[in-house]
Amino acid sequence: MRLPPTLYVHTPFCRAKCRYCAFFSVPAGPAGIAPDILGRYLAILETEMDRQAETWADNLALGPAPSVFFGGGTPSLLGACGLERVLSALRARFALADDAEITLEANPDSATPEFLAAARALGVNRLSLGVQSLDDRDLRALGRMHDAGQAIAAVDAARAAGFDNLGLDLIFGLPGQTPAAWLRVLRRALSLSPEHLSCYGLGVEPGTPLAADAAALAALPGDDTQAEMFLRGAELLESAGLAQYEISNFARTTTGEGGALARRCRHNLACWQGRDVLAFGPSAVSTMSPPILPVGPVLRWTNPASLEGWEALVRAG
Q: Which domains does the chain have, with CATH numbers?
A: 6-316 (3.30.750.200)
Q: Which residue has the higher pLDDT, 30 or 197?
A: 197
**Mean pLDDT in residue range 274-287:** 95
Coil, helix or strand for 244?
strand
Pair 156, 126: CB distance under 8 Å: no
State how far the alpha carbon of 213 is from the alpha carbons of 27, 133, 188, in Å. Answer: 22, 20, 29
| Dist. CA 132–CA 141, nearest whole Å | 11
CA distance 130 to 16: 14
Alpha-carbon dihedral angle through residues 185, 189, 190, 191, given to the nearest 10 degrees: 100
Model confidence, pTM: 0.93
Contact 263, 165 (CB under 8 A): yes
pLDDT tier for residue 273 given thresholds of 50, 70 and 90: confident
Instruction: Give residue-wise pLDDT tens across range 285-298.
Output: 999 987 665 555 68
- Positive or negative, the CA dihedral 39, 43, 44, 45 is positive
The pLDDT value given to residue 133: 97
What's the start-to-end Cα distance of the chain, in Å?
30
The answer, yes or no, to whether residue 259 has pLDDT greater than 60, is: no
Q: What are the tens digits of pLDDT across the range 80-128?
A: 999 999 999 999 999 999 999 999 999 999 999 999 999 999 999 999 9
Got the DSSP string for 93-112? HS-EEEEEEEEEEE-TTT--
Q: Tell me the average pLDDT across 251-279.
A: 80
